[in-house]
Amino acid sequence: MNDLSNHERAIELLQELGLKEYEAKAFVALTRLPQGTAKEISEISEVPRTRVYDAVRVLETKGLVEIQHASPQRFRAVSIDEAAETLRREYEERADSLRTTLREVEPAIPTEETEVTHEVWALSGASGITSRTQQLVDESDREVILVIGDESAYTPELRERLRAAEDRGVSVVIGITEESLRERVERDLPDAKVFVSGLEWLSSSVETGDETVIGRLLLVDRNTILVSSFHEAVGDGHDHEQAVFGRGFDNGLVAIVRRLMSTGLLSNVDP
């Protein structure tokens, strides 16, 4: 059963990597055989025999399969590593093209300049959130307060940005929910104030029974905040991080967090 899922999983992955259903199925079938005829492939892959030919021909042009022209034709998959590498490189090249192409599209003149005193943005995906976090730290002027709810958020890059901020004279305050991280952070950032207590309200929200876990919480210059959370999605529950960040002293969201911080948290470090 679990191994049956392996086939299916592989087929899904191949489709996500751009192959059609028949192509994916045929390829997986071929990886299970040293070589195979259309009939054999059809039998173990459930691809209609008459369609195997088309599928395999496409696979051949993609460099994933070799064809022996004989009667009957025989097909053979390239090695797993070679296939993975071929597909990976294909997308790598596309991503590079995209990068250079996008740089060349000329900007459109904004119809109108909207001044933004306060704003709240939503974003998702750990990587985007990480990058925005670092960016905000870089922008910091006087103070950075960062609560790390999930260890994965504390990356080496972030550490460097925090150090740089300290060097600029920015006051850095780090809150931690797991004692295990404390040592590392204190060693990394000797000038920073690090605390663990006062964060009970972060992790446990038993009363409401919600499954949301705070990943990071950043307050920059009492002016800009970023909050991220892991939402335990139903069923396929795993790591999708979502965040909002807000700017502007008068921003409602920022105000709330500022208050929250000053009562529960700042009392510990900024009397």
Partner DNA sequence: TCTTATTGTGATTATCCGAGTGAACGGCTG
Partner DNA sequence: CAGCCGTTCACTCGGATAATCACAATAAGA
- Window 35-64: residues binding DNA (CB under 7 A): 37-39, 47-51, 53
C-alpha 55/C-alpha 35 separation (Å) is 15
For a second copy, how many residues bind (rule: CB under 8 A)? 74
**Neighbour tally for 262: CB within 10 Å:** 12
Name the minimum Å distance from CB 3 to a second copy: 6
Q: Which token pair is 115?
A: 């001044």
Q: Maximum distance among all alpha carbons in the chain?
A: 85
Which residue in 124, 171, 184, 221 binds a second copy (CB under 8 A)? Answer: 124
Q: Return the range that interacts with DNA (CB under 7 A); candidates 19-27, 139-147, 206-214, 229-237.
A: 19-27
C-alpha 39/C-alpha 35 separation (Å) is 12
Please choose, from the candidates 212, 210, 192, 205, the residue with its C-alpha nearest in 3D space to the C-alpha of residue 147: 192
Under rule CB under 7 A, residue 21 binds DNA? yes
> For residues 101-120, which are near a second copy according to CB under 8 A?
101-108, 110-111, 114, 119-120
C-alpha 223/C-alpha 112 separation (Å) is 25
> For residues 60-89, which are near DNA according to CB under 7 A?
70-73
Under rule CB under 8 A, residue 16 binds a second copy? yes
With CB under 5 to 8 Å by kind, the binding choice for 206 among DNA, a second copy, none is none
With CB under 5 to 8 Å by kind, the binding choice for 231 among DNA, a second copy, none is none
> For residues 28-87, which are near a second copy according to CB under 8 A?
28-29, 31-34, 36, 40, 44, 60-70, 74, 76, 78, 80-87
> For residues 238-257, which are near a second copy according to CB under 8 A?
240
Under rule CB under 7 A, residue 26 binds DNA? no
C-alpha to C-alpha distances, 186 to 140, 143, 163, 174, nearest whole angstrom? 20, 17, 12, 9
Beta strands in the chain (DSSP E): 65-68, 74-77, 119-124, 143-148, 171-176, 193-195, 213-220, 224-230, 241-247
Q: Which residues bind DNA (CB under 7 A)?
A: 20-22, 37-39, 47-51, 53, 70-73
